[in-house]
Amino acid sequence: MEKRIELEKRGRKPNEITDFVLDNCRSTNIVGLTDEYVALEKLSLINVGLTSLKGFPKLPNLKKLELSDNRISGGLNLLSTSPKLTHLNLSGNKIKDLDTLEPLKEFKNLKSLDLFNNEATNMDNYREKVFSLIPSLRYLDGFDIDDCEVDDSEGEDDEVNGNDGDGDGIEDDSEEVSDEEDDDDLDEGGVGLEAVYKDHDEESDEEDYLVEEDDDDDDDDIDEDEPEEEEESSSPARGKKRKHEDGGEPGN
């Protein structure tokens, strides 16, 4: 375990590490993990071969502890130096009865406990007894007291708050987009007005053209009427001449 710890440190100082994964490193006791890891919030010791929690360090900021698939049968009181613990996974261990879980009632922040594949799960009224023993507990083996499955976002308050901040940013972007759309609408409106004025000018030109054509038509009508008047004025003269000629014949 000590060699694995040095490898996982990757040159970091113990008080700078917040997440430590030591799965499958093989050890029956906690060795090499000291009180120097004061910033540690997540620790994973899955399938290490632990038979007890002897040597477990003081980790004041530890919130999530993975101890599944080991051979732990007791000694949970050694976790009391991590009072902020909210998630504890003890599935696949050797816990046999409720008395072994008694120390967990002191954890005021413990919300999730996993005891799957432990002998203790076979006791009568197992779920009711565990929920009664640990008042702060909300989820046991992935389900709440009403057998509703655990919410994936449970316990991720920091991430939720971060999303709220992003939400504000999204709203600001929406406002910017709205402003851009308004500008686009104004541009489109300007083009529309220009088109309207253009159409109006074209219609005015057409009307002027039609008026000119009408004037030409009127002139043509006047020109056509004038010869008719001449013909009408000349017709009586010819009629008089004929009468005169006709009248002159008897005198001869």
Please give the order of strands across the beta sheet that includes 112-114: 19-21, 42-44, 64-66, 87-89, 112-114, 139-140
Q: Using 50, 70 and 90 to split pLDDT, how confident is the model at 20?
A: very high
Can you say whether residue 32 is alpha, beta or left, with left for phi > 0 and alpha for psi between -120 and 50 degrees?
left
Model pLDDT, residue 150: 78
Rg (CA), the chain: 51
CA dist 161 to 153, 156, 158, 167, Å?
12, 9, 5, 10
List pLDDT tens digits, range 72-112. 999 999 999 999 999 999 999 999 999 999 999 999 999 99
Q: What residue type is assigned to position 196 of the chain? A: V
- Looking at mean pLDDT, say which of 122-126, 158-162, 184-188, 237-241 comes out highest: 122-126
Question: Degrees (nearest 5) of the Cα angle 65, 112, 59?
Answer: 30
Confidence check: pLDDT of 196 > 80:
no
What's this model's pTM, rounded to 2 decimal places? 0.62
Q: What residue type is assigned to position 197 of the chain? A: Y
Higher pLDDT, residue 63 or 219? 63
Average pLDDT, the chain: 76
